[in-house]
Amino acid sequence: MVIHRDQRRADVREALNEFEKWLLRERSAQERTAAAYTARVAAFVEWLPAPVDQSLATLTAAKVTEWVNLEAARGLKASTLGKQLVMLRSFLQYAHRSGRTGQDLSGVVPHAAAWRLSSIPDPVPAGTIEALFATLDLHSAKGLRDRAILLLLTGLGLRACEIAGLRLDDIGWRTGTLRVRGKGDRVDELPLPDEIGQALEDYVLHGRGGRIVGEEVFFTVIDPVQPLTANGVCGTVRQICIKAGVEKFGPHRLRHTFATGMLASGATLQEIQRLLRHAHLRTTAIYTKVDTNRLAALAPEWPAAASSRRTR
């Protein structure tokens, strides 16, 4: 269960607020990024005995190691644990530079062992996507909105933040293209399949209607109506899962399903890389591990193989 910062102890809130301000000021982090980073260290700060200031003043390497061991024992994915530890190091650097701790304990925090290609993408089971679409009421604004969102996830592999960031002028109704703003201010233009274009048109004309004013494509359906956030997209997918009676998962798993489906249908790594907008082919290569038959066929495209050829 996610605990909102306002529900935490007053001393914890103060420490987290100061850390977030430090990230914005000293690390030039974006507001959304700073908030996400702060959320990752909230459990550590609350774990410290009250008051937090006194606990930080007497913090030891042994205490930090104790927390790390507790986190590692939770069985988190290596990538998730790695992010937790990165933020813990950042928080400990902040604590030292702000005078909250007498020494910089960030060096005590180990690096999580995480081979980038070690985790295997987990596509949803067969029939799950059909079950999700079957729950939608296409006579309602919510049903039209959720259908468009699901199609963007399953038909183009968009990220939740990319869906939340869509603007009306990003949709090329006449050209059959969709402009997507991705990570690192990257902007790409993707082909817009007819089914997805029609779903977007249905939602914009009949789901949003004339009651919504704003350049964002997707909005909440409960008052006060406001632009849908990335978290809102995640919540929407999970709500549909509950209604469909399937195991809950988030939008990114549908992105994995899109990529593995493309691979199974014969797409090359380079084609998948372009559609997923990965900066490096090595990132795309993880999808070959879910299909050993395609792996053999794609061996010449594997980034490591390409590197070895260049060195021969």
- Name the residues annotated as catalytic: 159, 183, 252, 255, 278, 287
Tokens, residue 170? 């990003």
Would you mind telling me the total number of residues written for the chain in this entry? 312
Nearest to 234 by CA among 218, 216, 258, 252: 252
Q: What CA–CA distance (Å, rounded) separates 141 from 237?
A: 16
Q: Look at the alpha carbons of 97, 101, 104, 110 in this order and tell me if their dihedral is positive or negative.
A: negative
Q: What CA–CA distance (Å, rounded) separates 233 from 227?
A: 11
What phi and psi values does residue 178 have, to the nearest 5 degrees? -135, 125
Contacting residues for 31 by C-beta, under 8 A, at least 6 apart:
24
- Tally the C-alpha atoms within 13 A of residue 194's C-alpha that lie toward its C-beta: 0
Q: Across the beta sheet with 177-181, what order do the strands follow?
A: 171-172, 177-181, 187-191
Nearest to 62 by CA among 95, 110, 111, 108: 108
Write out the H or E segment, with its range, that includes residue 172. Answer: strand 171-172
Under 8 Å between Cβ of 114 and 82 = yes
